[in-house]
Structure 1
């Protein structure tokens, strides 16, 4: 089954403007609608309004980090099944394990490539629609 990117709304939560802009540009090129947020608090308000199909969240953010944000998303019955992919500049086993504990579905190391970003969406959207 091919993924219909044009029907997807993707959220990118990262305190880095560069990462948000890079991801947004790559995702818009394949046809996704993109919603960005600067941190977990900003994201939580936007998730309810935009109902993204998949969420990318940076681990290291001020106020509410990626682990806390992911846990809050996964603890909400409406968004429990929404795939959450952690983004981190560290490729550590501890970070990956901690991400799994809070319910993340996948883990990408920054800087990510277009193929990694698209591949993560394809694998997660296939899993949720299968």
Structure 2
């Protein structure tokens, strides 16, 4: 389940911009994942709260792409981030003169478990079913019979 967090200074993205960016990012992921599994979260930060090198800076965006281990080859993701994902956000960031930083996070396999999904209210059925087939976890009934 791709989880994208986008920190941006207040006023630098409109609702229409965010809609377009989220759709563009989801379109790329939809080539390998169900559309509903892609999460894009925009986190607005007061424009005077970004600091770089101890100095206040304007127009800085921080984009984080987070993936479960094995869900996306990291080298392929890095290449896609440089080329395809960048093409989605370039008109809204670089072309407007904003600086940005991209971070790619991979959650290691041992941290992935059905319990993590339950505790965060996210149920990833395909992963859960696959883990059950491999006897990596036991089936849990969420609703008493």
What TM-score does the superposition give when structure 2 sets the normalisation length? 0.26
Per residue, is there more helix in 1 or in 2?
1
Per residue, is there more strand in 1 or in 2?
2
What TM-score does the superposition give when structure 1 sets the normalisation length? 0.28
Quick one: higher RCO (CA 8 Å, sep 6+), 1 or 2?
A: 2
Larger radius of gyration: 2
